[in-house]
Structure 1
Amino acid sequence: MKHRSLFAALLATGVSCLGANTSTAAEPTLAPSSSKWKVEMLTLDANEGCAIGDLNGDGKNDVVAGRNWYAAPDFKPRPLRTIEDWNGYVESNGDFLMDVDLDGLLDVVAGSFIPTQVHWYQNPGAEGWRLGQTWKKHLLVDTKASQNEAQLMADLDGDGRPEWVVNSWNKQNPTVVWRFVPREATKENPAKFELVGSTVGKEGNQHGLGVGDINNDGRVDVLIGSGWYEQPTEKMWDQPWQYHADWNIQGSIPMLVKDVDGDGLNDLLVGAGHDYGLYWWKRKKTPAGEPLAFDSVVIDKSFSQPHALALCDLDGDGVEDLISGKRYFAHNGGDPGGKDMPEIHSYHWNGKEFVKRAIEQGHIGVGLQIATGDLNGDGRADIAVAGKSGTYILLNLPQ
């Protein structure tokens, strides 16, 4: 996982990794927050994954973060699974929610950095919650692939089920998408799905992962640190996807595909996962068949390790805000700025630029995931983060 990002060297020359001029404003425009953020610390450990969802069916969003789940409205820790510590990390690199056994309750799907197995943890239901039981662990698949930086769950083929998309920091590893395929449940393993892998391509991988229609052809593509794989027009799981080496970075997870400025071309929002820099890559028009080209616009370079990004409308104006922060001690303090203070911010698009709104500075960083959802029933989107500065919920209250 230890990488020196290419962003710094490329930007020092005044040229982006895409051959385009880069805006190098030192500080973003600052604006007062439209929210008052109430911070609640849930626990302190090295876990860096989290998710938000209604785990107990009471209509309220709960939080999952590593070893525990936290039921609304008190958000007290309740045991979920045991996770081993490893070299300053925990042996888990994300939490994902899915009803794997189709019993009406959300379960947890999780993998790790070096171990090659993906497991699901079975929601025990009311009696198990009452007794504080850990959730039964089941193997989904042994991928036989190590060096997993992180993963995403997203529906790439439009069948209504998400795929499990894995990123490796080793660019020599193939890019593989794992599909949740229906199976017959057994007494030993009541899962109604199994994971079946499809190799998207062997040409590139590398730190950074995103999914989205980056070339505006109506199909969801897979983005990695060394370029992107174009979804084919047919038989997408039966053939390699066309690889485009249109960039070479150590990117964030996720890299977000979004038409920021409404010009009809999908852009890319990306962070330097282990260096300084949060960027808007504004897509430029290029002839069909030519490599994608972007103008790289600096959003913020005041903190390092914007490893995780999220989009969510925090102020209720109908426009998604960008959320990111410092992945505190991502490489145990070894990255540029790795021991600087943790912080988390939102960035509001005002039609011309991203305006920075501080959420918290000095105590709260991020890990591998930023989760959003209404945690207190007031209709406003709140935030959950888990990292080496602790697991927190940040309640989005009106000023």
Structure 2
Amino acid sequence: MSRRFAAGGTVALVAGLLAAVSTSAQAAPPSLQARAVASADASIRSHPDAVSAAPGDAYTVARTVTEPSGASHVRYTRTYAGLPVLGGDFVVHNAPGGTLAGVTNALAAPLAVDTKAAVPAVRAASASRAAFSGTVSGADAPRLVVDATSGTGHLAWETVVRGTRAQTPSVLHVLTDARTGAVTGSFDEVKTLSGPGTGGTGGGGLASDGPGVGGTGTGDRTTDGPGTVGTGTGEFAADGPGTTGTGGGDLPNGLNVAGTGKSIYSGTVTIDTTPSYSMVDPSHGNNSTCDMNQGSGTCTTFTDADNVWGDGTQANRQSAGVDAHYGAALTFDYFKNVHGRNGIFGNGTGVPSRVHYGSNYINAFWNGSTMTYGDGQNNQRPLVAIDVAGHEMGHGITENIIPGGLTYAGESGGLNESASDIWGTMVEYSANNASDPGDYLIGEKINIFGNGNPLRWMYDPKLDGSSKNCWYDGIGNIDVHYSSGVGNLAYYFLAEGSTANAPLCPGASPVTGVGRDKAAKIWYRAMDLYFTSSTKYVAVGANDARAATLSAASDLYGLCSTEYKAVQGAWTGVNVAGEDAPCTTPGTRVARDYNGDGRSDLALTGGSGWTTVPVAFGNGAGSFSVTNNGVTNFPGWAATAGVQAVSGDFNGDGRADIALAGGSGWTTVPVAFSNGNGTFTVTNNGVANFPGWATTPGVKLLSGDFNGDGRADLALTGGGGWTTVPVAFSNGNGTFTVTNNGVANFPGWAATANVKAVAGDFNGDGRADIVLTGGSGWTTVPVAFSNGNGTFNVTNSGVANIPGWATTPGVQVAAGDINGDGRADFLLTGGSGWTTVPVAFSNGNGTFTVTNNGVANIPGWATTPGVQVAAGDFNGDGRTDFALAGGSGWTTVPVAFSNGNGTFTVTNNGVANFPGWATTPGVKLV
């Protein structure tokens, strides 16, 4: 489907990621596709900043995926002033209802490019030919493009030069700066398996010579686009259209018979053929296998008299055909059965496999439609093993789900190669073939050097002597086959964990793997829905492999799930950091983190006449950056008499949101979902009973993840005469499912005069609980521990001193993990004349250990009339701090940073406007 529209004005939005969706993404039927595209188009028009829209932009739909849940993902390519934008593709992710859930976008900012070239096309053509290191057979006319593969754009000439390099066909895209004439980059449609060099040291490694060098090492599997066919030794290369196989023909699926194949590497196997015993497989989209007879032109489909193929030796030409035919079927089945993809192209169409290509050709390649395999050194070791087939067809998968594939240069090219190694490995494991069992070695059966060494070691890439285990700034400047080691090792960590034989990069913590099945599903989903053509290991924003795989893991298994944390650990293990907030102990997600950077922020709402929601984003050292953006309806609702406001991550996207309840006559729960940049998307859905109960005099509205699903929920307590604790469990989209179960004693205690209630995970089980304190004469601290289903187990243990201190007039209570042990604690502040901050550290069983240490200044400031206290991790160190706002005449925001032992370090920095706004009557600090 091709659909275009132009970009309009800009509306600020930072994309979130989709959660709780199906594990199998399918290409959408036409009706679903049309709805998905319409919704995505609307999302772009409503939120153009999310795609870095610029005047002159136009977008064309490249691919659409709609999931059973109704969530959709629409890929677009981009033009600017009519020029193609390399690296300008993006993905719009919409929630089941059609609202925007997020965007994966490679651009760092809207394009602003002068489209008039200072250098003529003829000069670009000459420079491009000069940059080609082989024999040129022809070149296309240069075309003007915007090169945005680095995240920012500049005008360039793109010239496609065709020819051969080290006997390898090449379709090289050369980029020339249209202002200076300098060659700024290039990428080849030919995608190779290994990089320049020879066998590795130590364990040894198989490598191939790079462009321009005749190879005596191993070659390399590649794919390319249109071009001429290279012969002889050298890299694994690809050729393009121009050779035509004979025989075979198309047959309807199902008209197949089972033949017996005697392969070189996989033993005796069953292969599907036609009733006339032609090596064409109707059950796998008419995959076919043909013999190139050491040439590079005509390829003749194998036929047989008795449907028993080959004898397991290279001398029998059918034997290599059996391996290739078998590998193609295995790869087709793997992607269909595990990932729901119907063949490389997604439409059930199979692909031809060509064997016995060239003479002494130490290579194999994919050319966009066909696999081609050489016979190796001395024509004795055909490159037709299972992992080779899976690797080659993996290139086909990549280029058919990402527009243009992952650009075959820099870090994107390394990810491209890594992905193919991963798929080759997973196909090998899925085959469960005793003659070629699964492993994390690439090309170990083809034994190109004759010394038993594989081509690559995924679990320790450096063993080949050139590949890299750890990311570093500049890794994009080395050959893509060697930078692929970073992705290979990260995948190994994710699947199998770190071991003595799979070393972590310096400073990384041990990783526990989640198994191959989960690892593969995470990686495939990341490629399918979140990678763009220019995704890198490390990039600004969400266009890096870490962010993409974390999004996939969050979708499949939940934010901060075991699998999510394994993805974090795997990337950290190869020195790939990210902007994702750290996941520590369940239940300790950073409170009030409105931009998802792992540090708490502050927001205000409820000021009379306000139409904005001010947000003070914490910079980590007690300073804040303030925004004050308009938000539809929500500020007015927040100013309604009796309304309470709470913050929490109600959709599980890692950013705090704001919910309201308590308005007289309300039947809805308004939620302002943070977009991460100080703007909010508002919902106002009806919720059964809960809004009415929230108007009960004396009731306290609380926020916390009461069922441990990664989304914040709401609870009420303190209503006079109540014997229940109502809980509204968030569904992640602004709707809630309500329970109202009886709880022994606790509801009555909560209704006691002057009692304060706070929520937090006080036993570290990943579910929020509720603590009460402040009742006159109390010597205990009641705790209602959540069971995750709206019921609670109650304790009421004695605690030294703090129950009495909590009755002091003006005292406020704040909860959070003050010592970073994975359990919530609570503190008191605001007592008249106090110079200390009492802290009750939870022991996890309803008892608490109390400290009462002196803290400079802040206890006095906390007694200022109108001051509100907010707890959160303002420096991202895993310990809860607290901040104050609302003092008359204040121009600062005091913050007390927890030292983890009941002491605090205080800052009191000036903040623009926010302190004054916080003094507005009726305002809520959230």
Q: TM-score, normalised by structure 1?
A: 0.51
Distance in 1, matches of 2:650 and 2:766, equals: 28
Q: 1:118 to 1:221 in 2, by over 3 A?
A: same
Query: Among 896, 899, 903, which residue is 1:347 paired with?
Result: 896
The structure carrying a bigger helix percent of its residues is 2
Retained in 2: the 8 A contact 1:221–1:228? no
Partner of 1:193: 736
Matches within 5 A, 1:83-102: 83=636, 91-94=642-645, 96=647
Partner of 2:274: none
Partner of 2:632: 80
Partner of 1:268: 826
2:691 is matched by which residue type in structure 1? Answer: D
**CA deviations over 1:296-346 (Å, ceiling 9, x no partner):** 3343422216642222243x6x36462321444xxxxxxxxxx68575312
Matches within 5 A, 1:321-332: 322-328=881-887
Where structure 2 has 5 or more consecutive residues not aligned to the other structure, the ranges are 1-590, 618-624, 776-780
1:252 is matched by which residue type in structure 2? Answer: Q
Distance in 2, matches of 1:116 and 1:70, equals: 25
Partner of 2:728: 179
Q: 1:211 to 1:358 in 2, by over 3 A?
A: same
Query: Is 1:152 equivalent to 2:152 in the alignment?
Result: no
Matches within 5 A, 1:212-227: 212-214=760-762, 220-225=768-773, 226=775, 227=781
* Displacement of 1:365: 4.4
Distance in 1, matches of 2:897 and 2:647, equals: 27
Partner of 1:228: 782
Distance in 1, matches of 2:894 and 2:911, equals: 8
Retained in 1: the 8 A contact 2:759–2:815? yes
Distance in 1, matches of 2:595 and 2:845, equals: 45
Query: Is 1:208 equivalent to 2:752 in the alignment?
Result: no
Q: 1:112 to 1:347 in 2, by over 3 A?
A: same
Q: Which has the larger radius of gyration?
A: 2
Retained in 2: the 8 A contact 1:94–1:150? no
Partner of 1:388: 920
Query: Is 1:358 equivalent to 2:908 in the alignment?
Result: yes
Distance in 2, matches of 1:84 and 1:75, equals: 20
Number of residue pairs matched? 288
Distance in 2, matches of 1:107 and 1:164, equals: 12
Matches within 5 A, 1:1-399: 53=594, 65-66=605-606, 67-69=611-613, 75=627, 77-81=629-633, 83=636, 91-94=642-645, 96=647, 109-112=659-662, 119-121=669-671, 137-140=684-687, 141-145=690-694, 146-147=696-697, 151-166=701-716, 168=718, 176-180=725-729, 192-200=735-743, 201-205=746-750, 206-214=754-762, 220-225=768-773, 226=775, 227-231=781-785, 237-238=790-791, 241-244=794-797, 246=799, 247=803, 249=806, 252=812, 254-259=814-819, 267-272=825-830, 279-281=837-839, 283=841, 292-299=848-855, 300-303=858-861, 304=863, 307-314=868-875, 318=877, 320=879, 322-328=881-887, 344-350=893-899, 353-360=903-910, 365=915, 386-388=918-920
Distance in 1, matches of 2:613 and 2:736, equals: 23
Q: 1:340 to 1:302 in 2, by over 3 A?
A: farther
* Displacement of 1:274: 8.9
Distance in 2, matches of 1:275 and 1:343, equals: 21
* Displacement of 1:254: 3.3
Matched residues, percent identical? 12
Q: SS of the residue aligned with 2:693?
A: coil
Retained in 2: the 8 A contact 1:94–1:111? yes
Retained in 2: the 8 A contact 1:311–1:322? yes
Q: 1:222 to 1:257 in 2, by over 3 A?
A: farther
Where structure 1 has 5 or more consecutive residues not aligned to the other structure, the ranges are 1-49, 56-60, 184-189, 329-338, 367-384, 394-399
2:632 is matched by which residue type in structure 1? Answer: L
* Displacement of 1:392: 12
Distance in 2, matches of 1:95 and 1:265, equals: 21
Partner of 2:495: none
Q: 1:143 to 1:355 in 2, by over 3 A?
A: same
Distance in 2, matches of 1:161 and 1:178, equals: 13
* Displacement of 1:356: 1.4
Distance in 2, matches of 1:62 and 1:362, equals: 13
Higher relative contact order (CA closer than 8 Å, sequence separation 6+): 1
Q: 1:203 to 1:182 in 2, by over 3 A?
A: same
1:110 is matched by which residue type in structure 2? Answer: L
Distance in 2, matches of 1:279 and 1:219, equals: 26
Distance in 1, matches of 2:740 and 2:836, equals: 32
Q: 1:115 to 1:283 in 2, by over 3 A?
A: same
1:228 is matched by which residue type in structure 2? Answer: P
* Displacement of 1:284: 9.2
Q: 1:113 to 1:295 in 2, by over 3 A?
A: farther
1:202 is matched by which residue type in structure 2? Answer: P
* Displacement of 1:359: 2.2
* Displacement of 1:154: 1.5
**CA deviations over 1:28-80 (Å, ceiling 9, x no partner):** xxxxxxxxxxxxxxxxxxxxxx966469xxxxx99774443479999453242
1:138 is matched by which residue type in structure 2? Answer: N
Retained in 1: the 8 A contact 2:664–2:692? no
* Displacement of 1:223: 1.0
Distance in 1, matches of 2:593 and 2:897, equals: 23
* Displacement of 1:164: 0.6
Q: SS of the residue aligned with 1:259?
A: coil
